[in-house]
Amino acid sequence: MDEVAPLRTDNLLDAVEATLRAVDPAAFRVVPILREGQPADVSAIALREEAAPAAQAALEADPAIASVERQGQRFLMRFADERIAETGAGLEAGRFTGMETDDLAAGTRAIVDFCDPNATKALHVGHLRNIALGQAVSMALRAAGADVERQSHIGDAGRSMGEAMAGYQRYAAPQTPQEAGLKGDQFVGELYARYAREEGPPADVADGDAPVARDLDERDDLAQQLLTGVEQEDPQALALWRTVRDWAVEGQNETLARLGLRFERIIYDSQRTQTSKAVAQLGIERGVFIKEPRGTIAYLTGDDSYPVMPLTRADGFPTHHLRVVAMWRDMMLAEQGSELIHLSGDEWKAHVIHAEELLTRLEPDLRVLPSRHIVHGMVSSEVDGELSSSKGTAQLVDRLLDELAARPEVQALAREGEPLVGADDLVAIAVLGYCLDKPVHKGLVMPSVEHFLDPDHNTGWRVALAWAKAWEAANDGAPDPAPDDPDYRHIVLQSQVHRRNLAVALDDLDLLKYVRYAGHLSGWYLERERDARVGRVMRAILVCGLGTLGLVRAGLDAARAETLRRAQTTTGAATP
């Protein structure tokens, strides 16, 4: 990105940009020099040679610039020590000087839809990548000043919901999760998996229909009978459905809280039961859907690799495809002023493509939502290979978090009772950070526990180590800037890149480069001897950076408040 707009004059790089824009708004490119031991702090390139003389004069007249060396159309600049000290003091004091970003997307509104679990089981590690990416996108937009709501679409109306109900009724009723000594989602998940195994897999379907295979299963078993009872509003079936669903959702929410995640908007599949039927009829009337001879309703995609998208079974039971289409259409009617960003795994790629086409044809006068899809590669496990909750081959998120939190590497680092650095805080950074450090389109292999806590293997753990070091009590205390110290100068300049990194990430909602910036800087910091001044600046950088990435369990506001409180204490000793 050639420039950041709007500019903040308290940001060192933006200040140089402002000086050069006064000469010519589009003739220069400002680039920070982040290699240690360089005599210059920042460079600027004149894109047009004739603009160079005026630029040199403007830079030499700028009191923030101590020296300017011209090399043809390139300028090498060093900031005045006073400017570095002023910026560093603000960072050490918890004012985040030059790092504020709430102007970058101010006035915009976004709904970010992710996670989208079924209310039939506990969250497993296959969910973690979607959760990490969705949380990061949400928090990055929020850090940029956007009005953001996180949304999750919970599947509580499909075939798997009936199987969870049947599993409970057949194997466990009237026992409760508390009586079984389990979280609600784990209790329901074990019963669902047991029923699914004993009843056997659904009939073979086309490869493209694999994600909705269970919804296409037309067997008349206990699961289907219970779903029919719910649809017909039988009081006993409805009570059982609500009980099982609420146990699962409550348990899932407890797990999400351990990762610092709470959804502002929850949408249930069951809220679209009647809407799905109405959309199916509307699609037939408008010539978008077809009714096949066997009574099913489908969408003909025109795509040889996936020619038919099934929307209902012969008995009218809607597939996940139709329930989602009904949800998106409802949001198109209600949320035309918002951006809707949806995250899904690439096993749903055909669904994403054809649902968008379908909605365009179904409602040609409306803007199609979601307005943006982020489709990520599938998750597998270094230990278990392919993940399947119904087959019992997917490690639960809770168990992964418990195992990591109990490891001696984490226990030695955690400071329970102190804000922001408990075992769960460090584990959340390690787990979610790992899920972010990979190109979105590529698959992700969940590592062994040992590799999760290897800073060379996991950027997230390296950042967690730096986070713990930055929050050591020895770093507490009032600002004491040292612009002549190379490490101090380097870390202050690094802080000023935060705005640009976020602006670049927002261009395509890809936070990989920002994750790697945080990882590289954390590695640099971990190699340094403890220095209170550097630690205080690093603390400010990590608060903003990890807050932007959604890795601070307590939230960005709480971390900012703690930074300010620590800067006002006198327990830390300034480095002489």
Span 348-354, average pLDDT: 93
Among residues 281, 180, 301, 165, the alpha carbon closest in space to that of 234 is found at 165
Which region among 147-161, 476-490, 559-573 has the lowest average model confidence (pLDDT)? 559-573
- Residue 291 is inside which H or E element, if any? strand 290-291
CATH topology of domain 406-567: Isoleucyl-tRNA Synthetase; Domain 1 (1.10.730)
Peptide bond into 447 cis (omega under 30): no
| Bridge partner list, 67 | 78
Which pLDDT value is given to residue 211? 66
Question: Which residue has 């705005």 as its token pair?
Answer: 499
Which pLDDT value is given to residue 203? 67
Pairing of strands 42-46, 74-79: antiparallel
Which segments of 448-521 are extended strands (E)?
none
Looking at 3.20.20.70, 3.60.15.10, 3.40.50.620, 3.30.9.10, the CATH number of the domain 114-381 comes to 3.40.50.620
Judge if pTM exceeds 0.85: yes
Which segments of 447-499 are extended strands (E)?
none
Per-residue pLDDT reduced to its tens digit, 522-549: 999 999 999 999 999 999 999 999 999 9
User: Structural domain boundaries of the chain?
Assistant: 12-79, 114-381, 406-567
Contacts of 20 (CB under 8 A, 6+ apart): 27, 28, 30, 44, 55, 58, 59
What is the CATH superfamily name and number for domain 12-79? Arginyl tRNA synthetase N-terminal domain (3.30.1360.70)
Percent of the chain with pLDDT over 90: 84
- Confidence label for 574 from pLDDT (cuts 50, 70 and 90): very low
